[in-house]
Structure 1
Amino acid sequence: MSQPKVSVIVPAYNAMPELTECIDSAMEQTIGLDQLEIIAVNDGSTDGTGEELDRLAALCPSLRVIHQENSGTASVPRNVALDVARGEYVFFLDSDDYLGPDALRRMVAMADDNRTDIVLGKMVSPDGRPVPTAVFKSTQPRTDIFSSAAYWTLGCWKLFRRSLLERLNLRFPPVRNTEDKPFTAAAYLNADGVSVVADYDCYYQRHRANGNNLTLTAQNLSHRMEGTRLCFETVARYLEPGPRRDRIMRRHVEWELCGPLWWLLLRESEEDIRERLYPEIRDWVENWVTDPIIEKLVARDRLLLHLLRADRFDDVITVIRNAEEDAERGHVVDGGRVYWDHPLFRDTAAGVPDSAFDVTDRLPAHHRVGSADWLKGGVLRLTGHAYIENVASLDPATELVLRCHDGGHPEIRVPARTQAVPGLPDDERYANAGFVADISLPTAADGAPLGQGAWNLFLDVRAQGVSRTVRMKSPEAERTPSQEIVTMSPGEPTTVTPYVTKWGNLSLDVGREVPRDDTSCRVTGASWHRSRKGTLVVAGKLAGESGQGHGALRLRVENGASDCRETPVSLSRAGCGFTAELPVKGLSPGRYAVTLPTSGPFPVTAVPYFTGMGRALWFRGARPYTARPVRKASETTLVVEVRAVDVPRAARRKLREVVRKVRG
């Protein structure tokens, strides 16, 4: 019998009705059943889960079902399946979740191509269950836990190279909650590389209709203690003390220690807290929580950890009990720092250092640029308002800061005049929040002209000695000032071009030509063709005389695997307008970026997302397919997702909607 590529492990306890969709999603993977073994372990279910697994196994030779007595935890059935798994890779799939059709093929290809031991597939939720997002901002062929956000997701719903698990003799601890965290932590800390698939929805995580997820039902702190202790011990086993260990330990201090203390500790009896839980928690703090970790936490976690260090049991209980009330307390400004005005702030008996209450570096600075205009003599005037949250704008000293990111010039600071701002609340917090800053380009550099290069603009917002620096946003209504010819010194006219970056920030380009709107390609619309199914239509305008200078403009769709299709655009008779029609119905399932490349001076113009596009539907043989825009897939570019319609699933969804309407 040949070795399967992937062993999909599904622990199942009273998992109906979600179980059927879960197993179906594994059996329908595009990687093919000949590459899979699906091992489902029925953990003593009483709701028909075992019978449904047997029914599905009779239809699919790749599905193996194991029945056992109830163990009370997902760890035991996962370990039973691991002991018999034969795949080169192992994927853990919970019985209430399901996979995207192309998930395993993509993850396996990523692991094979990059020789990585763990692959994270993008997680989404169809019913609002929180899922990790930070690590899935971009696809990462090969990374590690120190240079990515991978460690911040410790659920086991990932692709693991089985040889890694066997080399470590790695199994799940038999605890009811947090059982997957020490398992995944150990794998991360020993993995030869981690990959991230972020351009495809791989794993759909959801709440059970009956609400019996272990994550929801095992909500006592006592259920988490052993798993949390194992997390700390696992990190200490594989990492020497120092910055790398602190970076990883911080995750467990925030999520497994402080977080549960705030919302779970008081659910326990006072006797259990004092006699059993509190001593062990203090032991964790003494052994694993260093000063560098505490410094990076929010103020309330810093306070809690200092009290635990000082063994002040009563204060710990009090601050947790009063957490909601204390969160609304104000702030104290002293010596250019801002402190949380907590009842224990500068309480000599408590002995908590001021640093535990310092929130200065976490206060946001809010600003708005009202206008940006050229004055005579090459002076750019910027007006608006800026203030630091929770800091009254007394003794203001706000400055405009210019930093050249490509010319090696020193930073330049321009003092701003402060003033009252109409429209803001009339109190001391905003009395001097308005600013006027004049940048004299010929003399800005300590009497010398501003140097050539691209300059980013910042605001150093200051009040009462407190300083916060923020990147300057574009003016209101995107009213960016025009390009200006500035005489920097006698006989030296220089082109200065204000522009807005793709992130919406204001910058200046000094001494170089920047593409202007009158020679640009502007997209005015994107839609689906009314009669030609699965055909994308993009329209736009080519500014400039008769649209000249743009080379051979084309409409292109392409994905991360270099699958590409393009078509030339058609110019209108007037020469400035254009349209392009591109069929996407022949593309393989996946996500495709839509752009307008050209051989002219502007290599690529991104087609933006347009609201109201809807979706296209067509048939390939008897199988329906759809294409739809993915709204938040990119900040700048339209991304279209092509996928095969899961007809049984769509029918079930439609049926549920009908039932809800009837019942409602």
Structure 2
Amino acid sequence: MPPADPPRVSVIIPAYNSMPELTRCVTSAMEQTLGLDKIEIIAVDDGSTDGTGPELGRLARTCPALRVVHQPNSGGAGAPRNTGLDIARGDYVFFLDSDDYLGPDALRRMVAMADENGTDVVLGKMVSVGGRAVPMAVFQHNQPRTDVFSSHAYRTLGCWKLFRRSLIERLNLRFPPYRNCEDKPFTAAAYLNADGVSVVADYDCYYSRNRENGNNLTRTAAGLTHRMDGTRLCFETVTRYVEPGPRRDRVMRRHVEWEFCGPLRALLPRESEQEARERFYPEFRRWALSYVTEGVFQLIPPPDRLLIHLLRTDRYDDLMTVARHAKEDAGRGYLVDKGRVYWCHPFFRDPARAVPDDCFDATDRLPVHTEPAEAAWQGDGGVLRLSGHAYIEHVATEDPGTQLILRPRDFPHPGLRRPVTVRTVKGLPGEGSYDKAGFSVAVDLATVAGGDPLDPGVWEFFLDVRAQGVSRTVKLRQSSGDAHGARTTPAHRAVAGRSRYRHPVVRPFFSPDGTLSLDVRPDPNQFTQTCHVTRTVWDASARGNLIVRGCLTGQATRHRGAITLRAKDASGSVYEVPVHRTAEGDSTGFTARLPVRPLPPGRWTITLHANETKETAVVPHLDGPTGTHWFRPSRLGRPYYARPLPLGAEQTLVLRVAPVRLATALRRRLDPRKFAPSQWGRRD
């Protein structure tokens, strides 16, 4: 008899004295819409004494997909999770703590997200039950494919996620035998080696709760003794998988703030003098010297910078003083001096302490509050009127000089600046400190770019918020929408002005994070009236060549000026090839062949241009295979790919050109089902 197909997901539940929460936890896995034929549930009883074992036995008798394993108590959740991993057969693994439970459609949505985007880790939206803290920043909107360097994913290192099991086995990942922080090194290693991370934010996937009896491991193993080994392994994991530099600094910052400085401040004063001085302090000092680079130091907040400075300079007594008074010193207030904002800690500018001002500089860490109250067209032209308020917390709005900035989303640009009119606004917190935080500005989008309209693309609004010489530049975000979460923006409008695109169409919108943005596109009724693209395909006889065919009508048939097929990347680089005409009846047919192999890696927008009239036409999305690949001898034979990225309602053709990740290519070589031209580059 052939073996049964492996399940899509193995749900692993470590359980120790988990009643009464256990029943809902297990039944939430049994009731998943993904179907029990696609799920295996592995519940590991870690030597429970409260009825957890019998309850698991009862549930197993009602569900053939539930497998129960009993083992002696190990003292932590890591060992039972490892037991589950050793026998798991699923394509994916999901770790579900016995205190918590799943939303009914959670696994189906997460598996679909991983399958559709080829990602190795999927985060499902977490919900707090009974006040237990859960991460929120990463779940603002769905993210089909991201990574830990361009999202907030690394803020949540709990293992309550969907992991591709092949990733776990390739890295030989298992949980260390610690009572606390055992899941952070595991998740960190998976993140840093994952071929993409996805986020499901539009459905409540995971409900996190505290036990009624309060014996969650995170509470009962909260001392430094149970944290040091896990924290040390976090630092070692990052050092192992990320090269030194800004990327490592951004990842390491999380561990310095959460696993290092937080516990030091809260827990070190609770230890005995001997334990604190002889056991824990030397280890904290070693971490400060080994892992907190200058890049990390500049990223962390002043309270943490002060601790790191005292550790580096070997000042145990001052460190303990700061830690013991951390709560009362947190509310000491701030001083504005020469365009910088400093935390007024008792050590600040105390000659006897001799701590550098840099340890107290909070300028770049202060929250900036912005709120666009109005965004509307002014008259019938292209003037967009904006108003709202913006202020830097703890900096009174004296001598304000805020400016509005427009920047393109996809490539570096200094920004187009416009001064705003300062307005008085009431009702903000701070007892009148922010009365001059109001602003209004009218932006003529027909002339904003040096007398021209904006180039096509997505442009975002920023505010350079200034007061008392302090300047902070942030995105202009609307914090929330109406009762349904919707945010209202003006309708799109064609903007007249001097431009090679004649009258570009501007569509204001709010991005998922609430940033006010503009989608600028060529008027589709210009050149497309005289140019019709009929086919876009890859050349079957010469890999890496894009063929565009179509016909010219109307005025385009009467002028003989050159027409080119143009590829333009986000930095403004342009590559053009001529369009060749062939007479076809009453219209003029054309063909263009664009070699994409010479294009540098990046995103290339494909358009047609009539050089005589300066008109442009979009090239639609490919109707043939979705991608192509080739080898570049000049790059040691490394494979490269090009694939289309559909963009917006017009489906304008945008090609992504990039090298194929060699590990991914090798895995696909070993799996013929995935090795096809249409799949090249999907995960890269």
TM over 0.5: yes
Q: Which residue of 2 aligns with 1:465?
A: 469
Question: Partners in 2 of 1:405 and 1:241 — Cα distance?
Answer: 28
C-alpha distance in 1, partners of 2:282/2:85? Answer: 35
Alignment partners' CA distance in 2, 1:53 and 1:467 = 59
Query: Gaps spanning 5+ residues in structure 1: where?
Result: 514-601, 604-664
Give me the whole-angstrom Cα distance separating, in 1, the residues matched to 2:508 and 2:71.
63
Q: CA deviation at 1:321?
A: 1.5
Equivalent residues of 1:3, 1:87 under 8 A apart: no
Structure 1 residue 194 corresponds to structure 2 residue 209? no
1:176 Cα deviation after fit? 0.7
Whichever residue aligns with residue 39 of structure 1, its letter is I
Distance (Å, rounded) in 2 between the aligned partners of 1:234 and 1:199: 31
Question: Using a 3 Å threshold, how does the CA distance of structure 1 residues 511 and 3 change in structure 2: closer, same or farther?
Answer: closer
Match in the other structure for 2:256: 253
Secondary structure, aligned partner of 2:238: helix
| Contact 1:89/1:161 (<8 A) preserved | yes
Cα deviation per residue 1:348-399 (whole Å; 9 max; x = unaligned)?
Answer: 4544332221122233455678999979x99999887765433344444445
**Among candidates 262, 266, 281, match of residue 263 of structure 1:** 266
With over 3 angstroms needed to count, the CA separation of the structure-2 counterparts of 1:72 and 1:483, relative to structure 1, is: closer
Letter of the structure 2 residue corresponding to residue 342 of structure 1: H
Query: Shift of the alpha carbon at 1:278?
Result: 0.9
Deviates more, 1:379-388 or 1:178-187: 379-388
Cα deviation, residue 275, structure 1: 0.9
Identity level (%): 65
Q: Which residue is equivalent to 1:337?
A: 340
CA deviations 1:410-456 (Å, max 9, x no partner) are 856555676877788999946866778788999988xx867567987
2:64 is paired with a residue whose SS is: coil
1:391 aligns with 2:395: yes
Partner of 1:285: 288
**1:26 equivalenced with 2:38 (yes/no):** no
Q: Which residue of 2 aligns with 1:212?
A: 215
In the TM superposition, what is the alpha-carbon distance from 1:273 to its structure 2 partner?
0.9
Distance in 2 between the 1:97 and 1:369 partners? 39
Compared CA separation, residues 288 and 12, structure 1 to 2 (3 A) = same
Distance 2:207 2:497 in 1: 59
TM-superposed CA distance for 1:152, in Å, is 2.1
Counterpart among 325, 328, 331 of residue 328 in structure 2 = 325
Task: Say if 2:68 is the partner of 1:65.
Answer: yes
Kept in 2: contact 1:386–1:433 (CA 8 A)? yes
**Which of 97, 100, 110 is the aligned partner of 1:97?**
100
How much has 1:239 moved relative to structure 2?
Answer: 2.3
Would the alpha carbon gap of residues 348 and 143 (structure 1) be closer, same or farther in structure 2, given more than 3 Å must change? Answer: same
Choose the corresponding residue for 1:88, options 71, 86, 91: 91
Residue identity in the other structure for 1:36: I
Q: Is the 8 A contact 2:453 2:495 kept in 1?
A: no
Partner of 2:150: helix, strand, or coil? coil
One-letter identity of the residue aligned with 2:174 = R
Give the 3-state SS of the residue equivalent to 1:125 in structure 2.
Answer: strand
Any conservation in 2 of the 1:114–1:141 contact (CA below 8 Å)? yes
Partner of 2:4: 2
Aligned runs of 1:558-569 on 2, under 5 Å?
A: none
2:307 match:
304
| SS of residue in 2 equivalent to 1:257 | helix
2:384, 2:145 → 1: CA distance? 45
| Code of the aligned partner of 2:6 | P
State the one-letter code of the partner of 1:311: D
Query: How far apart, in 2, do the equivalents of 1:267 and 1:247 lie?
Result: 30
- Write the distance in 2 (CA, Å) between the matches of 1:369 and 1:312: 47
Matched, 1:502 2:510: yes
For 1:193-242, what per-residue CA distance to the aligned partner results, in whole angstroms no more than 9, with x for missing partners?
33333333332222112211111221112211111111111221222222
Return the offset for 1:332.
2.1
In structure 2, distance between residues paired with 1:281 and 1:465:
37
Q: Deviations over 1:11-57 (max 9, x none)?
A: 11111111122222222333333333322221221111111112222
How far has the Cα of 1:4 moved from its partner? 3.0
What are the equivalent positions in structure 2 for 1:140-151 lying under 5 Å apart?
A: 140-151=143-154
Deviations 1:314-362 (A, max 9, x none): 1111112212222222322222211112222233454433222112223
Name the CA distance, whole Å, in 1 between partners of 2:41 and 2:493.
66
Tell me which of 351, 362, 366 is aligned to 1:363: 366
**Deviates most, 306-315 or 52-61:** 52-61
Q: 1:98 to 1:412 in 2, by over 3 A?
A: closer
Q: Which residue of 1 aligns with 2:109?
A: 106
Structure 1 distance, partners of 2:144, 2:181, is 28
State the TM-score, normalized to the length of structure 1.
0.65
Letter in 2 for 1:292: G
- 1:285 aligned partner, one-letter code: A
- Distance apart, 1:400 and its partner CA: 5.3
Partner SS state of residue 510, structure 2: coil
Give the corresponding residue for 1:566. Answer: none
**Alignment partners' CA distance in 2, 1:384 and 1:262:** 39
Alignment of 1:213-612 (within 5 A): 213-365=216-368, 387-399=391-403, 429=433, 451=453, 459-469=463-473, 501-502=509-510
Task: Indicate the residue corresponding to 1:583 in structure 2.
Answer: none
**Could you tell me which residue of structure 2 aligns to residue 42 of structure 1?**
45
1:60-87 superposed Cα distances (whole Å, 9 cap, x missing partner): 3332222222221112222223233333
Q: 1:481 to 1:150 in 2, by over 3 A?
A: closer
Aligned-partner residue type, residue 502 of structure 1: F
Distance across 2 between alignment mates of 1:397 and 1:82: 58
Aligned to 1:121: 124
Give the count of matched residue pairs. Answer: 512
1:499 deviation in Å? 9.2
Using a 3 Å threshold, how does the CA distance of structure 1 residues 414 and 226 change in structure 2: closer, same or farther?
closer
Counterpart-to-counterpart distance in 2, 1:120 and 1:485: 40
Q: Secondary structure at the match of 1:205?
A: strand
2:180–2:226 Cα contact (<8 Å) kept: yes
Aligned to 1:169: 172
